[in-house]
């Protein structure tokens, strides 16, 4: 998103609906345990092929496995039920602010360039980076494709995750994501933990090397995060605290109220 993006309370960004439909999600039979995963995978592979997904991605999908750790994480989210002060303490907000100020100096040229282009100041970007992965310290240890396939198969939120599975498959076809890439428990990718459909939609080349790599390039991840916020209504120069114009963009990043408020507070303290 290290921090996680998890659950019904936490939805990293807006649904990437262009790659799949609710009807498509229902064509392959969802399930609530591992027993039906292989059957679903065969059905979904046919469905994906009919939608134009290439052989490289289809082969990768066939190699996925049901991820019990993903299901455990999806069922076991508790920190977002904490009060704001409890949540801030649990997430180490003071440490994120201290390191965020240091990272602001270290990456001053990059962050200034991003602000000129997207209108987003360093504070909220660094707050998100620190909250999601501890500034890249831990970006997850689960196979991304298996994780997103598992939650797409799982009946609880298949309709939400299936477009992101199509996003991951498209990224694999385009060479933007390795089938063996690892990320967080719900298939989140890289330094700021984009879900695959959003990575595909909002990912930009922040370091100028002609590629979008949210895992290996902090510049790409931060620029992409700013691009997401701009697409969700960020207005240059406006405030981003609760009740201010840009707080709505932070709400687009994450649906949990305590998370939104934490980003706003940490960002404000980093920006000073």
Identify the pLDDT of residue 11.
39
Identify the pLDDT of residue 78.
65
Instruction: Please give, one letter per residue, the 3-state secondary structure of the chain.
Output: CCCCCCCCCCCCCCCCHHHCCHHHHHHCCCECCHHHHHHHHHHHHHHHHHCCCCHHHHHHHHCCCCCHHHHHHHHCCCHHHCCHHHHHHHHCHHHHHHHHHHHHHHCHHHHHHHHHHHCCCHHHHHHHHHHHHCCCCCCCCEEHHHHHHHHHHEHHHHHHHHHHHHHHHHHHHCCCCCCCCEECCCCCECCCCECHHHHHHHCCCCCCCCCCCCCCCHHHHHHHHHHHHHHCCCCCCCCCCCCCCCHHHHHHHCCCHHHHHHHHHHHHHHHC
Task: Let me know if 255 is exposed, middle or buried by CB neighbors in 10 A (0-12, 13-18, 19+).
Answer: middle
| Count of beta carbons in the 10 Å neighbourhood of residue 210 | 6
pLDDT in tens, 115-135: 999 999 999 999 999 999 999
Relative orientation angle of helices 122-133 and 257-271, to the nearest 10 degrees = 130
Identify the pLDDT of residue 22.
39
Asked if 86 and 167 touch (Cβ cutoff 8 Å), the reply is no
Identify the pLDDT of residue 74.
86
For residues 62 and 271, what is the distance between their CA atoms, to the nearest angstrom?
Answer: 46
For residues 149 and 162, what is the distance between their CA atoms, to the nearest angstrom?
Answer: 8
Identify the pLDDT of residue 229.
98
Q: Domains in the chain, start-ordered, CATH in brackets?
A: 17-75+140-191 (1.10.8), 83-136+201-271 (1.10.530.10)
Identify the pLDDT of residue 77.
66
Low-confidence residues of the chain: pLDDT under 70: 1-27, 77-79
194: phi then psi, degrees, rounded to nearest 5: -75, 135
Closest by Cα among 204, 203, 198 to 160: 198
Identify the pLDDT of residue 18.
42
């Amino acid at each position: 998103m290290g921090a996680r993006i998890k659950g019904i309370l936490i939805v990293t960004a807006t649904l990437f609906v262009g790659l799949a439909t609710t009807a498509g999600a229902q064509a392959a039979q969802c399930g609530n345990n591992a027993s039906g995963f292989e059957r679903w995978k065969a059905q979904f592979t046919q469905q994906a092929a009919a939608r134009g997904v290439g052989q490289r991605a289809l082969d990768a999908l066939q190699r996925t496995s049901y991820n019990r750790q993903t299901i455990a994480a999806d069922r076991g989210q508790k920190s977002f039920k904490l009060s704001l002060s409890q949540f801030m303490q649990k997430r180490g907000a003071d440490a994120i602010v201290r390191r965020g100020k240091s990272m602001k100096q270290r990456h001053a040229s990059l962050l200034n360039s991003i602000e000129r282009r997207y209108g987003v100041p360093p504070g909220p970007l660094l707050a998100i980076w620190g909250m999601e992965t501890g500034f890249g310290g831990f970006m997850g240890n689960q196979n991304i494709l298996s994780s997103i396939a598992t939650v797409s198969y799982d009946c609880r939120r298949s309709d939400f995750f299936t477009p992101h599975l199509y996003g991951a498959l498209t990224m694999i076809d385009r060479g933007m994501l390795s089938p063996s890439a690892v990320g967080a428990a719900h298939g989140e990718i890289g330094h700021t933990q984009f879900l695959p459909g959003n990575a595909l939609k909002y990912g930009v080349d922040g370091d100028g090397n002609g590629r979008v790599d949210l895992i290996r390039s902090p510049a790409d991840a931060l620029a992409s995060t700013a691009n997401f916020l701009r697409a969700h209504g960020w207005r240059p120069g406006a405030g981003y605290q609760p009740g201010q114009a840009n707080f709505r963009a932070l709400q687009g990043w994450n649906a949990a109220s305590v998370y939104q408020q934490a980003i706003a507070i940490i960002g404000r303290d980093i920006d000073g």
